[in-house]
Chains A and B, each alone.
Chain A
Amino acid sequence: MRHTFAIAGRELRSYFVSPIAYAVLTLWAVIAGFFFVAYVGFYAQMQQYPDPAMLERLNLNEQIVTPFVQQLWIVVLLLVPGLTMGLFATEKANGTHELYLTSPISIVSLVLGKYLAVAAMVSLLVVLLGAFIGLLFYYGSPPPELPQTLCTLAALWLVALSYAAVGTLFSALTRSQLIAYFLTVVVLLLVTLLGELAPVAAQAAAGSSEGVTSLVAGGTSVIRWLSSAEHFEQLATGLVSTRSLAYFAFMIGAFLIVTKTAIESVRWR
């Protein structure tokens, strides 16, 4: 475990002496700020409506917090691979992997250390988001509900953590940061988009023969199961289920275990 913290600490420090952390944090703050202003502006416009029934239904959580955080999903998908791409790829490119693979440390503590560093960065992103939403608590009347807001933020945090696990794996598979980045983004996008398309495909196949229908149904259910969209949506709207939490825990664990195996297998070639 002490190795894990040593590795995580080194990794975190190297984030902040390279431009990557600053680029990611800046982009995040700017884009999130842009979305936030847009949603708040939209909300203010809605408040001008004279319809009392409409005003009755206005709610900071539903009109700002949840959609704002949900919108940021795509930003997370593009930024988190930027944080993970270098984890193992640069080590291989620099030859520093010879240091840790000949040190008395286990590969598990290596992978955990690296992941811990990314997880800390991801958490920092979510905390920054919390700063925006904190404004609503200060100025909003009535303010948003705290438990639901935390749940929404936790949803994005978990999605980002699962993306980081995927990115960690791809970084371990290549020595090029660029390839690691694109592979991660492409895979994450594909799974999510296919998840969105799944119902459409199921509908389209409904009319054809039974074999095709069941095949498509099988494929779509696998894709939907892999895709985090459903779980993210539920959590983001404040619906906490064991199933969703188990999904994220499983995804993170599975990708980290595959990462460990991938690193071990490299030594066998």
Chain B
Amino acid sequence: MIEAKNIVKRYGEFVAVDGVSFSIAAGEVVGFLGPNGAGKTTTMRILTGFLPASDGSALIDGHDIFHEAIEARRAIGYLPETPPLYPEMDVQGYLTFVAKLKDVPRAKRKAAVERAMERCGLADVRRRVIGALSKGYRQRVGIAQAIVHEPKVLILDEPTVGLDPIQIREIRALLASLATEQEGAHTIVLSTHILAEVEAICRRVILIHKGKKVLDAPLSELTAGGARLEDAFTRATQRDEAAVPMDSPPPQEASSSRPEATA
């Protein structure tokens, strides 16, 4: 469903994403992990066609995100880091507008908006102006916006960041229901740096660190035998830093040990 081939993104000298490849099958729920600044958002922006890659390519539902942008984008629901909301619109009006942008046919538009509001618990605030909603509700509108056209692929960039614990639980429950209902209907990629979130929802983990993929494994494998995801995360991301004291030259082992983790 999602095919990333050697994605590279350079900003001048700086390499934000450095040759990331992965393949995600239909119905998979993947946690996209990494420390802040690892290149998660950039990778997601490339997958959604918001940014073009400097090198490499991405296929969404069999369409190249750059060369067949319109078809590929039709298959994507995307929640950016900042939900793309118009504060002056009401919830229902906004979702109807998004449904138009996403080519939901006129006859199905009303039902689609209704369904998205239903699933995200927005039916009670449908006439409220988005700018007047709490942050948790705004995040829900952001998710509703991503699912209103029933996309095959759902890409969510830190959907729970900045929410209080109760809101986080609600959003997580919502995501979990999206992941489980109609098994295989949604392919979900979820970026976060909250490990508990991954453990609650995802079945596979891709870990990005300094623009490179350092880990790609099923969650069950990483947590097998009571192992903690946090340990795997720490091992993968801190390997080179831990091995490089500030005052000594980098040991060779730091870079050579990386391929093991990628396996």
A-side residues, CB < 8 A to B, are 2-3, 6-7, 10, 13-14, 17-18, 94-106, 267-268
Contact = CB atoms under 8 A, between A and B. Distances in A.
B51 A99 contact: no
Given A101-B49, A102-B49, A102-B76, A6 B101 contact: yes
A98 B80 contact: yes
A102 B50 contact: yes
B52 to A, nearest CB: 6
Contact of A267 (B52, B84, B85, B102): B52
A100 B89 CA distance: 16
Interface of B: 45, 48-52, 69-71, 73-74, 76, 78, 80-89, 93, 97-98, 100-103, 145
Contacts of B69: 104
A105 B101 contact: yes
B80 A95 contact: yes
Contact of B98 (A18, A99, A268): A99
B103 A101 contact: no
Contacts of B73: 102-104
B183 to A, nearest CB: 26
Contacts of B97: 6, 10
Contacts of B70: 104-106
Main secondary structure of the interface of A (DSSP, over half): helix
B19 to A, nearest CB: 20
A94 B131 CA distance: 12
A6 B89 CA distance: 14
Contacts of B78: 98, 102
A14 B83 CA distance: 18
18 contacts: A6-B101, A14-B88, A94-B82, A94-B87, A95-B84, A98-B80, A98-B82, A98-B84, A99-B84, A101-B49, A101-B50, A102-B48, A102-B73, A102-B78, A103-B102, A104-B70, A104-B102, A267-B50
Given A98-B50, A101-B49, A14 B102 contact: no
B157 to A, nearest CB: 9
Contacts of A18: 88
Contact of A14 (B48, B86, B98, B145): B86
A7 B86 CA distance: 12
Given A3-B101, A104-B70, A267-B50, A99 B145 contact: yes
- Nearest 10 pairs between A and B by C-beta? A99-B84, A95-B82, A6-B100, A98-B80, A103-B101, A96-B84, A104-B74, A104-B73, A102-B48, A104-B70
B89 to A, nearest CB: 7
Contacts of A98: 45, 50, 78, 80, 82, 84
A103 B73 CA distance: 6
Contacts of B88: 14, 17-18
B86 to A, nearest CB: 6
A106 B48 CA distance: 15
Contacts of A14: 86, 88-89
A267 to B, nearest CB: 6
Q: Count chain A CB atoms within 10 A of each CB in B76, B87, B101, B103 and give the residue with the most.
A: B101
Given A6-B97, A104-B71, A96 B86 contact: yes
Given A101-B50, A102-B49, A10 B102 contact: no
B238 to A, nearest CB: 32
Contacts of A103: 73, 98, 101-102
A101 B80 CA distance: 11
B52 A268 contact: yes
Nearest to B76: A102
Given A14-B86, A14-B88, A268-B52, 9 more contacts: A2-B100, A3-B101, A94-B85, A95-B82, A99-B101, A99-B145, A101-B49, A102-B50, A102-B76
Contacts of A97: 84
B148 to A, nearest CB: 11
B36 to A, nearest CB: 18
A104 B100 contact: no
A104 B97 CA distance: 13
Contacts of A94: 82, 84-87
Q: Count chain B CB atoms within 10 A of each CB in A6, A94, A104 and give the residue with the most.
A: A104
